Amino acid sequence: MSLKKEAENFVEAASGGPPKPRLTAGQQSVLEALQRQPQPLSAQALYGVMRRQQPIGLATIYRALDALKLLGLVQHRVTLTGETLYSAV
């Protein structure tokens, strides 16, 4: 671990909170879009909402959703029909 990273970890630990994950622009856009939705959405429905506001690819949305799930910022559930719905935590 580099000295700079160790110093950052020390400062974060001293501030009393866990380190906040850094998000890519795509991840941040997907998270913000999900936070604005009143109900869970499929990736395709989220794509339909987002592409009206900005140029973004469906693959980018899927990658962002996977990363956000791993960070605990998004949750998903699978319906009886097999569709996966996503919502912000």
Rounded mean pLDDT, 26-47: 96
- Structurally, at CATH architecture level, domain 22-88 sits in Orthogonal Bundle (1.10)
Rounded mean pLDDT, 42-62: 95
Shortest CA distance to 65 belongs to which of 33, 20, 18, 22? 33
The residue ranges of every structural domain in the chain are: 22-88
Q: What is the structure's pLDDT at 26?
A: 94
Rounded mean pLDDT, 18-39: 90
Rounded mean pLDDT, 48-75: 96
Structure tokens at 80: 């009886």
Confidence of residue 9 (pLDDT cuts 50, 70, 90): low
